[in-house]
Homo-oligomer: A and B are copies of this chain.
Amino acid sequence: MTNQLDNFFSALADPTRRAVVERLTQGPAAVSALHDGHDMALPTFLRHLKVLEESGLVTSTKKGRVRTVHIEAAPLRILDDWLARHRDLWDARLDRLTRLAEAMEESDADDPI
């Protein structure tokens, strides 16, 4: 019953993994290149990559001894859609509140304290 969104959000909850995703938006990169600059043992870093890959946010292919990691488009779209949906609801709510505030102001004008 675990949603795809569960995996996307929890994958992105870690700063190391977000950094990897950010880096990958600029193009694919090898594991060791991605690891560079992260003060963390390689096996630990690899676990993060595995989490990203299992979530579907990235894919990877191995050629020779080099594994190259690529970002996936679809998940970003799904995340975006979720957020967009709630952005809309929020905006609608804001509108209602605005109208309410206006209505209250009017009624204040009609019938002050």
Q: Mark A8-25, 1 if CB is under 8 A from B, else 0.
A: 011011110010011001
Which chain B residues border A94 with CB–CB below 8 Å? Answer: 73
Which chain B residues border A90 with CB–CB below 8 Å? Answer: 25, 71, 73, 76
Instruction: Work out how many copies of this chain go into the complex.
Output: 2
**Which one of B6, B15, B22, B76 contacts A13 once the chains associate, using CB atoms below 8 Å?**
B6
| Bound form: Cα–Cα A99–B102 in Å | 51
Residues of A at the B interface (CB closer than 8 Å) are 1-3, 5-6, 9-10, 12-15, 18, 21-22, 25-27, 71, 73, 76, 79-80, 83, 86-87, 89-90, 93-94
Jot down 18 A-B pairs with beta carbons below 8 A, ordered by A.
Answer: A1-B15, A5-B15, A5-B18, A6-B13, A6-B14, A9-B10, A9-B12, A9-B18, A10-B13, A25-B90, A25-B93, A26-B93, A27-B93, A73-B94, A76-B83, A76-B87, A80-B87, A83-B83
